[in-house]
Structures are given as structure tokens and as C-alpha cells.
Structure 1
Amino acid sequence: MNPYLIFILIVLVGGYLLNLVVSFLEIRSLQPELPTEFRDVYDKEKYRRSQSYTKVTTRFSLIQDAVTLMLTLVFILADGFNMVDLLARSVGWGAISTGLLFTGMLLFFSFLLGLPFSLYSTFVIEERFGFNKTTAKTFVLDLLKGVVLAIIIGGPLLAAVLWFFEITGHMAWAFCWLAVTLFTFVLQFLAPVLIMPLFNKFTPLEDGVLKEGITAYAAQQDFAIQGIYTMDGSKRSTRLNAFFTGFGRFRRIVFFDTLIEKLQPQEIIAVLAHEMGHFKHKHIQKMMGISILQTGLLFFILSLFLGNEQLFAAFGMEHISVYAGLVFFGFLYAPISMLLSIFFHIYSRRNEYQADTWALNTTADQGEGLINGLKKLCVHNLSNLTPHPLNVFLHYSHPPVLQRIEAIRRVAQEKEAAPCQAGAKI
């Protein structure tokens, strides 16, 4: 049997089995006893619902993964990629246009496969647990907008990648790396002003105590912002969130309207201080730099496999092409991607602790505003308070909330003890 096919089948099945084990451990790690730290904000019924939500979403994800795995294996073993390739070639277009058509058809099949799961997740599971506010009209419009953006933005980028590999020879990977990097930077500027408003309404924060507190804190931290906005997150969900977006004069602070409704002003400012910590420690720039290096690695390794006849034979292909090679390489790169994601998650969790410490050091309440804000976020989002360590290691970009709170309290105690220790030395 083809060695590439054996490797790909092992990766696909092995990945599913790993997720199966992690999911089993995640459900087993749920603690029926409400943690002491949350007894002031969580009642037993709400805590029971959060655990039920974890069980339901975990099992649903396993079902979706199983169906996806089964259909993917059937598609590969039945030479489905070759059938799609022959269909795309039958139109008689050039190599790049055929590649776009080939990729588009695969994405369309993937979309059809995921649509029933998306519908069930949104209108059954999220509805059952009180999160969903998405109407059928909004759901359909979001899909249509997503498709249009994929065509307008993703199409030219893919065409450029295909063109570079078709025309520029052995240095094509470097040109692709540069093009994708430039595209990423441009998108960072365009997203806040052109793309995000297509999906949500952004309204300047009303004058009042909250805006005054945020403005004062931003001035204290010498942080120039283009504006402070609320976003109609309640249009789709009751979940709470906040984020920075954009660079330079396009930089914005955005709060979900649900967050403003549920959190007190000092808690919102503490959440903002945490995000400010990411900015001050240059976490976003560092993560982008690492991501750019990862993209370069991806394109370089990709260039080594694009014309590999055995790789194409593993998928039953009659023709070798750059566009199909891009797709097939994704299967080979999956283990590397997983290992790199583990590194990213470790680094990201470290950054979260640093941002929490920044919030503690730049607000006057010894971290209590941030702790209370984190607690309310967990309660309203039905977060799992006791995730299994293996799941955290593999998938969590943020530390578990109980560990974050413990770290905040520890830093606060050390900060409070430091002046006393300095005085004792004198």
C-alpha cells in the first residue's frame, strides 16, 4: 500500500482517537461539588447547567468528528479528489482558474457537510442553554456574507499562491510567504473598518461613568485609541466578550453589549486592563511574528512535496497539479500543526498570566475587579471550571479560570507584602 496513504490514514484516525480520549477525560474531570471560589456567584442549579453544557457540547463534537472522519476516509479511498479534479478540468480553464474551481468545489462540499451540525449547534444546543439569539434570517445572511468574503478575499490570495508556484520556480515558497504576510497586515487594518461592520453594528460608547473610567485609564497608560465602541453581540448570542481590534489610528476598544449589561464599570475596566496588558507586553506583535515564521515554514515544507508522485497516487489522482498538492499537503502537515499549536497554547497561557498581572498592577483594587469579572464571564458563558489537564495542554489558549484567580491572588499578596519586607530591611 502507498506509504503516504498509510501515514494519512494513521493521522486521521489517530487524531480522532486522541480527541476521543481527551473528551472522555474531560467529562470524567467534571466535579459535582461547586468550587469554593465560585460560591458567591454560582448557585447549584446554574453550576449543574454548566456541567450539562460541557457534556452536551463535548459529545456533540465527538459525533461531528466521527461523521467527518468517516466521510473523509470514504472520500479519499473512493478517489473522490480525482473525481472533483476531473470535473474541474472538464470546464477547460487554465491552471489557476481550474485550481480555484477545484478548491471551491471542495470547500462547498465541506460547507454542506458542516451545515447540519452548525444548524443543530446554533438552534438546538445553544437555544436549549439560553445562548442563542440568532434568527434564521441572520444565520442565512451570515453564511452569504461569509461566502462573498471568501470569494472576494480568499480567491485572489489563493490565485496569487498558485501563480507563484506555477511561475517562480524553486523560490515560489518565499514569494508566497511574503504575499501572505503582506495580506495579513493589510487585513488587520481593513477588518475593523470594512469587514467587521458587515456582521455587527458598532456604536460609540455612551457618555457616563464607564466611558470616563475607560478614558482615564487609557490616558494613564498612554494608550491612544480611535474610539470606544459597543457591539451588538446580543444579536446572535447572550455570551459576554470584549476585545481590541486594529492598529495605529484604526485601533478600537470593543465591548459586547451583553458584557456592559452584566458587569460593573470597575469590572469592565479591569477586563480592559487585562487587554491593555497584552498590548503593553507586545503579545499581539510577538504572536504575529511567530505566526509569520510558522507560515514560512509551512510554505517551505509544502514546496518539497508539491510534485511528489506518490503523494498524488495516495489520493488516486490522474494528474499532478499545484492546487491539488496544496490540499494534500494539509493532511501531511496536520501532525506538525498540532505540535506547533501546543507550543502556541503554552505561550498564550503564559501571556494571559502576564496580562492578568498587568491589570492587577495598574488598577487600585488588588485584582478584585478582574477576579469578579472573570467569575461573571464564566457563570454567564457556562464555562467548565475543572477541565482535564490534558485538554488544557492540547487545546486551551487561556489557563483554567481557577488557576488564573489563584495566580492573581498570589501576586496581590506578594505585592502587598513587598513594602512590608522593604521596611523590615530598613
Structure 2
Amino acid sequence: NPLFHSVAFFALIFIGSDLISLPFDYYSTFVIEEKYGFNKTSLGTFFSDKLKGYILSLIVGGGLLLVFLWLIHQMGPHFWWIFWAVAAVFMVLVNLFYTAWILPLFNKLTPLEDGELKQKIIHYAQSVSFPLENILVMDGSKRSAKANAFFSGFGKRKKVVLYDTLLEQHPPDELVAVLAHEVGHYKKKHIILGMLTSVLQVGLLLFLLSQFIFSENMSLALGGSGWSAQLNIIGFTMLFSPISMIIGIGMNWLSRKNEFEADAFAKETFEGKPLAEALKTLSVKTLSNINPHPWYVFVNYSHPPLLDRLEKLEK
């Protein structure tokens, strides 16, 4: 069956790729991260994460791949817009239910305890008309000493997640400033615009793929004996990589712009100094490069370097 032949092809590629990358992942975690004091992952957690990742990939990734390949074989050139709709719905659902369904498989989430920090967060949220009920703490220290915070979901399902390492490293005012930055992303519509941009990118990718996927010549060029969907997907991936790099540079530029806007929102609605102190602490704790080359930033950085953010906050 050509459909299951295609699925088996990509399954073998996934397994082979992961087996090749496994020793490098191990070295990165238990040698490099350990050397600089970041690693908190045990061997059990490392391999448990791998196993859970395989199961999720099999169920979710395998299901999407099966639908994708079935549409190619059954719908012909019209497959792209149908799968685009499927992918768009899937992306929205992941954003809505990530912290409720997926994250608990890997981390423990607990409500933020009552106290000074929670009161300050609630007071700030009310001051900017941002209803916030779900404030969760994640056991990030289970894997790393690095700290982070993020928003997930829309409407009543929106949640803010704070790493426990973040709570350990920052006083309440700095934590509220970090939260104000995240609220800035929400208020400036960055989350919605980011979702729409991602959906449009997927649509563009699928449309371009539809122009190549049924080419027998591409399959023959890659060693096939006739038309092969899986070979043409591999070929298209190689052809698309320069375009992907250009799109990535544009997305990084947009992300850096959004970070500056979120910083400005935090300064306007709370204070700039606690945010600046929080950024300094985060930079020190993660040993980040505070003054990277501008061209490297332009191509690779999704967040502005520390000195640029501090300069903007001071103005």
C-alpha cells in the first residue's frame, strides 16, 4: 500500500535521525550543561522524556502524517488547502490546551501560593484590565537551573506559567516586571499575530509543496523508479531551505521588535528598573552573550541582546 509505504519511510527516517542525535543530546545535557552548572536532569528523567516524546510523536505526529499523506494520495493537487485547514485547527488547539494536556506529561504544575507575590501580580493585572486567574508554577528545576516564564491559551483558558527557578532567583518586584512584559505581548496582540503568521507560513509552505509533490522528474532525480510522494517531500525540503532561512530572518526581526514593545509596555504600566534588573540577573544566570555581533543577531536572535534592551529601557 503506497500510503503505509510512505508512513514507514518517514518513520524510519525519524527513528534513524533520533538515534544519531541521541549521543549528542546526552553530551549536551550531561557534559556541557553540567560543566556550567545548568543541568539538573537525572538519567531517569532524560530517558523518560525521550520515551514520552516517542509516544507523543507516534500518536500526534503519526496521526497528522497519516492524514497528510492520505490527502496527497486521495485528493491530488487540492490536498494543500484541506491539510492547511487541519493544521490551523491543530495549532489553535495546541495553544489552548498545551498547559492542560501536554505539559503535565513532563512537568508538575501547581497554583502559585498565596502571599506577597500573588497579591502583587493580581493587583498589577487588575491595574491593566487583564483578568488573570490561572497563575501556575512549573518545576523547571527538575531539568535545569535556567529560568523562564510564558503565557499559554486565549480568553478564559489563558494561563501564566512561572518556573520555580524564576521564583528562587528574583524578588517580587522583578517577577511582576517579568509578568508585565508577558502581559505586554498579550495586550499588543503579539500572540494572536504570531499565531496568524504561523498559519500563513504553513499555508505558503503547503501551496509551494503542491507545485512539486506530483513531479515524477524530481522522484527520478532522487533515485526513484517512478513517482514517489516521500521522495518529492524530501526533495522539496532541500529546495525550500533557502526560502526557510529568509523567512526565519524575517520572523526573528519581528520577534525582536515585539520584545522591545513588550519591554516598553512593562515600563509604562509598572516600572522599568525592576525589569532591567531581572534581565541582568537572567543574563548572568544563563551566561548569555551580552554583546554579540550585530549580523549574528540579525540572522539568529529571536530576542534582542541584553545591552540593547537596557538601552531602550533607559530612554
| TM-score > 0.5, shorter chain as reference | yes
SS in 2 for 1:225: coil
Structure 1 residue 323 corresponds to structure 2 residue 230: yes
Q: 1:252 aligns with which of 155, 159, 164?
A: 159
Q: Which residue of the other structure, out of 219, 229, 233, is the alignment partner of 1:312?
A: 219
TM-score, structure 2 normalization: 0.97
Write the mapping of 1:349-360 to structure 2, written as runs, cut at 5 A. Answer: 349-360=256-267
1:324 and 1:156 map into 2 onto residues whose CA distance is: 20
2:269 to 362, 379, 386: 362
1:373 to 255, 258, 278: 278
Alignment counterpart, residue 382 of structure 1, candidates 287, 290, 293: 287
Paired residue for 2:131? Answer: 224
How far apart are residue 326 of structure 1 and its match? 2.0
Q: 2:247 aligns with which of 340, 343, 346?
A: 340
Question: Is the partner of 1:305 in helix, strand or coil?
Answer: coil
State the alpha-carbon separation in 2 of the partners of residues 409 and 280 from structure 1.
22
- For 2:106, the equivalent position in structure 1 comes to 199
Letter in 1 for 2:281: K
Given the alignment, which residue of 290, 295, 299 partners 1:394?
Answer: 299
Identity among equivalent pairs (%) = 45
Post-superposition offset of 1:127: 0.3
Corresponding residue number in structure 2 for 1:236: 143
CA contact (8 A) 2:111 2:134 kept: yes
1:353-392 CA distance string (max 9 Å, x none): 11000000001x3x00000000000000111111111110
Moved segments of 4+, more than 4 Å = none
- Counterpart of 2:181? 274
Aligned residue identity for 2:125: A
Partner of 1:207, secondary structure, is: coil
Moved more, 322-331 or 253-262: 322-331
Does 2:70 correspond to 1:136? no
Structure 2 CA distance for aligned equivalents of residues 334 and 109 of structure 1:
21
Q: Output one character per residue of 1:259-300: Cα deviation in whole Å (capped at 9) or x when no partner.
A: 100101000000000011000000011111111111111111
The aligned residue for residue 179 of structure 1 is 86
Query: How far apart in 2 are the matches of 1:208 and 1:116?
Result: 44
Mark the structure with the bigger radius of gyration: 1
Q: Which residues of 2 match residues 400-415 of structure 1 at below 5 A? A: 400-410=305-315
| Per-residue CA distance 1:370-426 (angstroms, 9 max, x = gap) | 00000000000111111111110111011111001000101xxxxxxxxxxxxxxxx
- 1:40-51 equivalence runs, <5 A: none
Amino acid paired to 2:166: L
Corresponding residue SS for 1:330: helix
Mapped partners of 2:294, 2:209: distance in 1: 33
Counterpart of 1:211 (choices 115, 118, 132) is 118
Q: Do 2:253 and 2:302's aligned partners in 1 also have CA atoms closer than 8 Å?
A: yes
Name the counterpart of 1:295. Answer: 202
AA partner of residue 210 (structure 1): L
Letter in structure 1 aligned against 2:275: L
Cα offsets for 1:301-338 (capped at 9, x unmatched)? 10111122332233212242223322321111101100
Q: Determine the C-alpha separation between the residues in 1 that align with 2:66 and 2:200.
A: 22
SS at match of 2:97: helix
Aligned residues: 315
Is the CA contact (8 Å cut-off) linking 1:267 and 1:372 kept in structure 2? yes
Asked if structure 1 preserves the Cα contact closer than 8 Å seen for 2:222 and 2:231, the reply is: no
Give 1:249 shift: 2.1
| Aligned counterparts of 2:229 and 2:67: Cα–Cα separation in 1 | 12
Give ranges in structure 1 of 5+ residues lacking alignment.
Answer: 1-93, 411-426
> Which structure has the higher relative contact order (CA within 8 Å, separation 6+)?
1
